Structure 1
Amino acid sequence: MEHIELFFKSIFIDNMVFATFLGMCSYLAVSKKVSTAVGLGAAVIFVLAVTVPVNWLLDQYILQPGALQWLGAEYADYDLSFLSFIMFIATIATMVQLVEIVVEKFSPSLYNSLGIFLPLIAVNCAILGGSLFMQSREIETIGLALNYGVSSGIGWFLAILAIAAIREKIRYSNVPAPLRGLGITFIITGLMAIGFMSFGGMLTGGDDEAKQEETTTAKVEQAKKAEDNKLAENTTTINE
């Protein structure tokens, strides 16, 4: 249940583009064609799916205070958390280089379409944001870290795919002159953000119901205890 909840929340409610506005540079620049948006979105999913779990391992076994205890008791007091940004970015840059080599090898046309924005994934704030959010959320297992990386990538992919499809259509629409280009794109992005965040009520309703059930159960148990205590007191009084 925890995996499913994290998966859908990362895609819809905590969407990298619509909730935190991360990765907006690539989102706006590479969303003029659906084919290009699909290629970049797939690359972002892959990079997030690999870097978030790898950075989780680095955080758990190297960077956190006391994480080096597995090397020996003398390393238990070491705190390397100040290296988080350097280690995370190094991991991301390595994965992006791998993606760039693979795309250039197997799809030169996509490589040329993406241009400078493919290597710029290394400094895409959505990629680094995935690892930092993973760290701040205190995700407990590598499975949840992988889940969060994949779902965050899917959320970013859906965002750029949706805006690319809309931008291809509005190219032939009669958009007012002052809003053409980035103006109408920002307006559409804001409207889509409202739509995505409306899923929040659907995904958090179960939590509210569970809390209400727990509260009701606690009240029933408290009333039962009070009744038992009162019955015990009456029995004692009768015996006296």
Structure 2
Amino acid sequence: MYTVPLSVRLVATDEFSAVIGTVYRLGGVAEWQPYNGPIGFGNDGIYEVRYRSEDSAGNTETAKSAALRFDRTTPAISANVTSSVYADSGQIDLQITFGDAGSGTDHSRTVVTLDGQPIAKDASLQLHTLPLGQHTIAVTAEDFAVNAAGATFPVRTETSVQSVGALIDLFAANGSIDNGGIANSLRRQLANGSLQALLHHLQAQRGKHVSNVAADVLIRDVGALLQ
């Protein structure tokens, strides 16, 4: 595997008579061409160089061949991060794809991070677990020719009345809010725009009918709406 341009030089020797010429061709179908000097290669691809020489006694050697493979192109990285702004009530089921038509991507050397912390390339990101604001998914990859590439995907999480409502529904469904009456009361306060009352209600129910984790998320979001 080569990652830099190179030239192939053909040298023929004969112990008994002079070499009168060498011919070569690329692949098995091209015409034989007289060899007049180094053969240059630089584009990505797989090449087969076939060559043979003839001496002054009329002897022609059996054709020999050499295979050359070039890959100077870094992997192409894409992800299903289709927007830079996401509601924090949503999630991203991460899908990262790599394109490398040359040597292929060496997945053992792929690294994916979220805000500098390693994550799986197929991670399911529950966005309410992240602080509100800017985040970065970063991906580095190498192919088997050790061509390296990197890509970053910005993700900004924001809250809204709709996001808070969706989170109340989520926490009621997964048991983080364990009382239906409490959940309905929270929904009514949100729908009525009574954000200060909603905030106090959440603070009072934290660790009781609303788990600490769920309450902290909702308190954070309602506090952001009040700013």
Q: TM-score, normalised by structure 2?
A: 0.22
- The structure having more radius of gyration, on CA atoms, is 2
Higher RCO, 1 or 2 (CA under 8 Å, sep at least 6)?
1
Structure holding more strand per residue:
2
